[in-house]
Structure 1
Amino acid sequence: MDEQKLTVRAVERALDILLCFTESTELGLTEIASKVSLHKSTVHRLLGSLEGRGFILRDASTDKYRLGFRIWELSANLSQTDDPAIILLPEMERLRDELGETISLYIRDGKERIRIQAVQSNHPIRRVAPVGVRLPLFVGASSKILMAYSDPEVQQMILDDPDWPASIDKEAFLRQLGEIGKREVATSFEEREPGAAALAAPIFDRDNKLIAALSVSGPANRLTMEKMQEYADVVIEKARRMGKMIR
């Protein structure tokens, strides 16, 4: 392997290490090596380089690693004028205050959806919504929204995924997507996890291009099917308002 390819591979491995921290605040060397499927000696060398550049910090007392301050320096320079996660946050907070449940914003990335923003419910019992979490596109209200308004090629790619659950009938799923496309709202009731429910609506920009899925989620005993039907028009209208805020 030539020097250029080795350099690119090292960069890819370093980025894989940084991505380990999307779901964990602190990780040990063994944990990181397991997540990226590399030898500990290789990971230790890469961590040393990242630490030297300020992207990783090591706690000497616990021998655990966490993200360094250089990450926050980069994030501070994100374009706030174009980032829906920033622009729409005040409206999400207002919707949370109105409905009392957790509000999330999802986008599609390949065969998964990513939560790019979340406002937690004020109820003592609530669904915790970590930003950055990746979820499959075949279950959940937001997944259905992102699928319903995707191109047929994208839909077929998801349907052909080897990880598609055998328990979900593809033809019935496509029919459901057609209905969602007409109504601009999707619901899920204990589909992804027991005791959880959600409804979602699409956010379009002024060119009618799908930006994200706006989701309301909570415990199924509180966010019942009847309650979701009651909330549907509110969520649809809020999603339309959000779309007008995006350039």
Structure 2
Amino acid sequence: MEDRKLTVRAVERALDILLCFTQDNDYDLSLTEISAKIGLHKSTVHRLLTTLEEKGFLQRDEGTEKYRLGIRIWELSTHLPTLNEPAVLLLPAMERLRDRLGETVSLYLRDNLERVRIQAVQSRQAIRRVAQIGARLPLSVGASSKVLAAYAPPEVQVRLLADPAWPEAVDRSQYLEQLKEITRCGYATSFEEREPGAAAVAVPIAGRAGGVVAALSLSGPVSRLSPETLEEYAAILAEAAAEMGLMMG
């Protein structure tokens, strides 16, 4: 029984190492950096890194001694099911929306108390908001976060507001009022809530069964996205989201 516990712990630690590469645009990391991120001694991390490298999940640059994701990760990704996969299925519609409005378009799913950007189409303008696919963000701030929280089950909202990681700068009562307003008007906006100089508008995507399955957002610099512009774009996004919901089934 003890051996099994140790084995499971080793698996958890190995997965923690792989997840380090999803944070903060970290594409290559040193042994020291990985050790600090997951809070383990370097000797333990080194053994795990060696195994992951041997299996092809990581590769090491002999010049810099830094690690990056290996070919096995990409091989696994090619076997992900693409039928009805939102990131693949909705990409053409997102590109059309980007071409029509000229700003970055993103697609988010809720994962517990976070949102995950599963697809993004970057604006072609020189000054633009660059959205990284795979980024995880809290549900406490941002237009897409508020949309996903507004349409989440009540128990999720309760856990969200009780989360120790809730930012002190965000008033819970005002946040709840915002969620109510979002369900009433059908969209959310944000102005420099998460990033200085950035604005966004987001709408829910509902499946045919009626539940909200994703959030569709448009973001860009505040110099181009005034409150009036975001309100105008919200109607266009809502129309696109309705079509996407039908596509997702």
TM-score range, shorter chain: over 0.9
Paired position in structure 2 for 1:6: 6
Paired residue secondary structure (1:157): helix
Percent identical pairs in the alignment equals: 62
The separation in 1 between residues aligned to 2:113 and 2:207, in whole angstroms, is: 22
Q: How many angstroms does 1:165 deviate by?
A: 2.6
Cα deviation digits, residues 158-205 of structure 1 (max 9, x gap): 111122233322222212111111211110011112111000000111
The separation in 2 between residues aligned to 1:162 and 1:32, in whole angstroms, is: 25
Which consecutive aligned stretches of 4+ in structure 1 deviate over 3 angstroms post-superposition? none
The separation in 2 between residues aligned to 1:17 and 1:90, in whole angstroms, is: 34
The letter of the residue matching 2:50 is G
Q: How many angstroms does 1:2 deviate by?
A: 0.4
Paired position in structure 2 for 1:133: 135
Q: How many angstroms does 1:87 deviate by?
A: 0.8
Structure 1 residue 209 and structure 2 residue 216: aligned? no
The separation in 1 between residues aligned to 2:234 and 2:206, in whole angstroms, is: 17
The letter of the residue matching 1:93 is E
Structure 1 residue 85 and structure 2 residue 58: aligned? no
Paired position in structure 2 for 1:74: 76
The letter of the residue matching 1:21 is F
Q: 2:49 aligns with which of 47, 71, 75?
A: 47
Paired position in structure 1 for 2:97: 95
Q: How many angstroms does 1:92 deviate by?
A: 0.7
Paired residue secondary structure (2:12): helix
Cα deviation digits, residues 217-240 of structure 1 (max 9, x gap): 000111111111111110000011
Paired residue secondary structure (1:19): helix
Q: How many angstroms does 1:211 deviate by?
A: 1.0
Q: How many angstroms does 1:118 deviate by?
A: 0.7
The letter of the residue matching 1:5 is K
Cα deviation digits, residues 19-55 of structure 1 (max 9, x gap): 1111311111111111111111111100110111111
The letter of the residue matching 1:8 is V
The letter of the residue matching 1:220 is V
Flag structure 1 segments of 5+ consecutive residues without an equivalent.
none
TM-score norm. by structure 1 comes to: 0.97
The separation in 2 between residues aligned to 1:78 and 1:84, in whole angstroms, is: 12
Deviates more, 1:59-68 or 1:169-178: 169-178
Query: What RMSD, in angstroms, separates the aligned Cα atoms of the two structures?
Result: 1.1
Cα deviation digits, residues 68-102 of structure 1 (max 9, x gap): 11111100011001311111111111111011001
The separation in 2 between residues aligned to 1:57 and 1:173, in whole angstroms, is: 44
The separation in 2 between residues aligned to 1:167 and 1:70, in whole angstroms, is: 42
The separation in 1 between residues aligned to 2:185 and 2:239, in whole angstroms, is: 12
Q: 2:58 aligns with which of 32, 56, 59?
A: 56
Q: 2:189 aligns with which of 182, 187, 190?
A: 187
Flag structure 2 segments of 5+ consecutive residues without an equivalent.
none
The letter of the residue matching 1:3 is D
